Copies of this chain bind each other. A is one copy, B any other.
Amino acid sequence: MAKPYLHEAWYQAAWSDELSEMGSLTRTLLGMPVLLTRGSNGGIAALVDRCPHRFVPLSRGRFDGELVTCGYHGLVFDSAGQCVRNPHGPITERARIRSFPAVERYGRVWLWFGDPDCADSAMIPDLSFLDPLPASAVAHSYMSVETNWLLIVDNLLDLTHSDYVHPAFGDFVTDAEMTVDESKDGLSVGWIARDQETPHIYRANLPSDRSDIWLRSNWLTPSTIVVGTGATAPGSEPEWSLWSLHGITPESETRSHYFFGFARDFNLADADFTLLMQNAGTAAFVNEDKPILEAQQMRVGEADLFDLDPLVLPSDRGAVLARRRLRKLISAQPV
């Protein structure tokens, strides 16, 4: 049975650079067709991609940088969804389209799918640590994955999978110490693997052949995950120097938009290193995670995995707590 989405939340709908000036983009989000536009003033708007008259997608019409004209009978709507021109008669009360509160922040377009009066941009996941980083030190990409969005969240809250799915990244996570900390905004799962042989991919920035390796998945409701990693001389305090960034937005119950990015705070000007990091990460996500996640979806089907009575392991603690929190948030939604 279809489970309700968590609507009262901000989701990443696109990367900012997917919308050029006066550009538009149609994308199904939480089961809803959405037309995203960037006006000639640079502002982002989001409307249900469906004319209220004959239900033709507005994305088949024309956006002139300010107004959207339906391609079927020429009704014109502004960025708030209000009909501003009806060639066929008066503009009545009902001549409007639902719009979604939209905020552009951290190079991402965020949409709120709940009651617009409750759309508080302070609830957008805080990625402000990215703000000081120059463009040469960040990168991002996208893939569509035929899997339920929660299976991706699970994946990222149990990084022990890396030892088996991404063996090129080493195999130190399973035996690391794991801690889980809940917070107001979500929760954080940390791993510390002490006194390891420094894995090859960390060598560039590491002091020695042996190091403590730090990993942390910081989940911000509903579906942003910041994976930080760092390596320090054995016995030192943690330092976070390399991040992968994950925004997962349900398209439907069985397909997800997966926005992923990379950032670091060392070697900031080295765009070649950024490209290397992006290529390695993208290869891992596309070639190694995606097939697993889609095969998993085939076995889980339309059910909620946790309704199928899976074996729960200690390493699932973060994922279990996150799903429990999401269930509570969904139950608390206005009907």
Residues in chain A within 8 A of chain B (CB atoms): 33, 49-50, 52-57, 60, 69-74, 86-89, 92, 94-95, 154, 158, 160-161, 163-165, 174-175, 291-292, 295-296, 298-300, 305, 308, 310-315
Chain B residue with the shortest CB-CB distance to A164: B74
CA distance in complex: A160, B292 (Å): 48
**Residues on B with beta carbons closer than 8 Å to the beta carbon of A308:** 55
Asked whether A310 and B55 contact (CB < 8 A) given A60-B292, A88-B160, A88-B315, the answer is yes
| Residue of B49, B52, B94, B161 touching A73 (CB-CB under 8 A) | B161
- Please state if B165 and A57 are interface contacts (CB–CB under 8 Å): no
* Cα distance, A322 to B54, chains bound together (Å): 16
Q: Name which residue of chain B comes closest to A53, CB basis.
A: B311
Q: A36 to chain B: closest CB distance in Å?
A: 17
**Given A54-B305, A174-B87, A299-B56, residue A71 in contact with residue B292 (CB < 8 A):** yes
Q: Are A165 and B72 in contact (CB under 8 A)?
A: yes
Given contacts A56-B292, A60-B295, A299-B50, contact A73 B311 (CB under 8 A): no
Residues on B with C-beta less than 8 A from A299 are 33, 49-50, 55-57
Complex A-B: 26 CB contacts under 8 Å: A33-B299, A53-B310, A53-B311, A54-B305, A54-B310, A55-B305, A55-B308, A55-B310, A56-B292, A56-B296, A57-B298, A60-B295, A69-B164, A70-B164, A72-B161, A72-B164, A72-B292, A73-B161, A86-B313, A87-B160, A88-B160, A88-B174, A89-B313, A89-B314, A94-B311, A95-B311
In the complex, chain B residues whose CB is within 8 Å of the CB of A315: 73, 88-89
* Residue on B nearest A314 in the bound complex, by CB: B89
A74 with B300: CB separation less than 8 A: no
Give A145 Cβ to nearest chain B Cβ, in Å. 14
Residues of chain B within 8 A of A310, CB atoms compared: 52-55
Indicate if the CB atoms of B74 and A296 lie closer than 8 Å.
no
Chain B residue contacts of A89, Cβ below 8 A: 313-315
**A73 to B165 Cα, complex, angstroms:** 8
Closest 10 CB pairs of A and B: A88-B315, A52-B311, A55-B299, A89-B314, A88-B313, A74-B164, A53-B311, A87-B174, A56-B296, A50-B299
Q: Is the CB–CB distance between B55 and A296 below 8 Å?
A: yes
Least Cβ–Cβ distance between A63 and chain B, in angstroms: 15
